[in-house]
Amino acid sequence: MRWTGDYGFLLSSLVIKDFKIRYRGMSLGIFWSLLNPLVMMGILTLVFHKLFPNPNIPRFAVYVLCGIIPYNFFTQAMLTGATSLTDNAGLMRRVPVPRTVFPVAGVLSVLTHFVIQIVLMIAVVLILGIAPNPMWGWLAVVWLLLIALLCGVSLMTSALNLFIRDTRYLIESANLIFFWLTPVFYDDRIVAEDFQTLYNLSPITIAVKMHRQILLGASAPTWKQLSVLGIE
């Protein structure tokens, strides 16, 4: 709490600065945050539902959207957090503050772009006729755990990136691998039984599955699932 009180202004300033810079000069501005997941949802639905039909997944479009949004947040926050110290090297030399502020600000700045996507996801679910229920409150818990996890990981990767500048590219490659290993557009039940235990240790896989359980299945996440985000 003391850390937040002492450096909260700097933290919020960094987040606001990134938000303004990202959309500066763009005619559509913040609406690009809406277009990206919608375009990805449309393409994946066309390919994996129309061209190669998958009858085992009902409401395929919203199923994909519930996977795209947490996946994109996870991968973008990982990359932004890892490069936060090198991206703010000039500011760190001028302002004597703990370096830990910058990775946390990096994750929170990514979060600001995804708030509107979370609203979009919930809106699509409502449009499809799925009624709100008390289980939706678990989304806040899932996102808090996901943010805390990413802040912790970013503290480590940002420090590593100071000494190994290849860290950024390693994370970009890992994010691509995660796309295929995360059930964004397929049912995780097709994964071989021998690999299920290892598969379900992936935080992003569990985050995607919990979004679908909560929004589409009206069921609460298990403590085992929550522990993957809380302990990893």
Instruction: Summarize pLDDT for 63-78 with one digit per residue, the tens.
Output: 999 999 999 999 999 9
Quote the longest CA-to-CA distance of the chain: 58
- Give me the pLDDT at residue 1, please: 46
Q: Whose structure tokens read 């709100």?
A: 132
* Range of the structural domain that residue 130 is part of: 2-231
- Give me the pLDDT at residue 33, please: 75
pLDDT score of 81 more than 70: yes
The secondary structure element, H or E, covering residue 33 is helix 32-45
Residues 6+ apart with CB under 8 A from 215: 66, 121, 122, 125, 130, 136, 139
Give the DSSP letter of residue 231: H
Q: Provide long-range contacts, Cβ within 8 A and 24+ apart, for 162-167.
A: 162/85, 162/86, 165/86, 167/82
Q: Residue 55: CA atoms inside 13 Å, Cβ hemisphere, count?
A: 0
The per-residue pLDDT of the chain, averaged, comes to 88
Distance between CA atoms of residues 173 and 167, nearest Å: 10
Distance between CA atoms of residues 64 and 215, nearest Å: 12
The number of angstroms, rounded, from the C-alpha of 137 to the middle of its chain's C-alpha atoms is 18
Task: Determine the average pLDDT of the residues in 121-136.
Answer: 91
Q: Residue 12: CA atoms inside 13 Å, Cβ hemisphere, count?
A: 6
CB 162 within 8 A of CB 86: yes
For residue 7, which amino acid is it? Y
pLDDT digits (tens, 9 = 90+) for 181-202: 999 999 998 899 999 999 999 9
Structural domains in the chain (count): 1
